[in-house]
Amino acid sequence: MDIQSLVRELKTPNDSKIVMLVADGLGGLPLQTGGPTELEAADTPNLDALARKGVSGSMYPIARGITPGSGPGHLGLFGYDPVKHLIGRGALEATGVGFKLGANDVAIRCNFCTLDAQGNITDRRAGRIPTEQSAPLAVKLREIKIPGVEVFVEPVKEHRFVVVFRGAGLGGNVADTDPQRTGVPPFEPVAGDQESKKTVEVAGKFITAARKLLADQPKANALTMRGFSARPDISTYQEVYGLKAAAIAVYPMYKGLAQLVGMEVVGAASTLAEEIDVLEEAWNDYDFFFVHFKYTDSRGEDGDFDAKVKMIEQFDSVVPRVIELNPTVLLVTGDHSTPAKLSSHSWHPVPTLLVAEDSRRDRCESFGETEALKGALGHFDAVELMPLALAHAGRLGKFGA
- Residues of this chain that interact with a copy of itself (CB under 8 A) are 1, 3, 6-7, 10, 29-30, 33-34, 37, 53, 58, 62-73, 81-83, 86-87, 89, 92, 339, 341-342, 344-348, 358, 360-363, 369-370, 373-376, 378-380, 384, 386-392, 396-401
Min dist. Cβ of residue 369 to a copy of itself (A): 6
Whose Cβ is closer to a copy of itself: residue 34's or residue 147's?
34
Dihedral pair phi/psi, residue 55, rounded to 5°: -125, 145
Min dist. Cβ of residue 272 to a copy of itself (A): 25
Whose Cβ is closer to a copy of itself: residue 299's or residue 392's?
392
Q: What is the 3-state secondary structure (H, E, C) of 225-258?
A: EEEEEECCCCCCHHHHHCCCEEEECCCHHHHHHH
Whose Cβ is closer to a copy of itself: residue 82's or residue 172's?
82
Whose Cβ is closer to a copy of itself: residue 304's or residue 384's?
384
Min dist. Cβ of residue 379 to a copy of itself (A): 4
CB burial string 41-80: b at 16+ within 10 A, e below: bbebebbbbbbeebbbbbbbbbeeeebbebbbbbbbbbbb
Q: What distance in Å separates the CA atoms of residue 153 and residue 161, rounded to the nearest whole number?
A: 7
Min dist. Cβ of residue 399 to a copy of itself (A): 5
Min dist. Cβ of residue 347 to a copy of itself (A): 4
Whose Cβ is closer to a copy of itself: residue 11's or residue 125's?
11
143: DSSP letter:
G
Min dist. Cβ of residue 179 to a copy of itself (A): 21
Q: Are 317 and 45 in contact (CB under 8 A)?
A: no
Q: What distance in Å separates the CA atoms of residue 288 and residue 76, rounded to the nearest whole number?
A: 16
Q: Are 259 and 247 in contact (CB under 8 A)?
A: yes
Q: What distance in Å separates the CA atoms of residue 53 and residue 250, rounded to the nearest whole number?
A: 29
Whose Cβ is closer to a copy of itself: residue 275's or residue 297's?
297
Q: Are 59 and 20 in contact (CB under 8 A)?
A: no
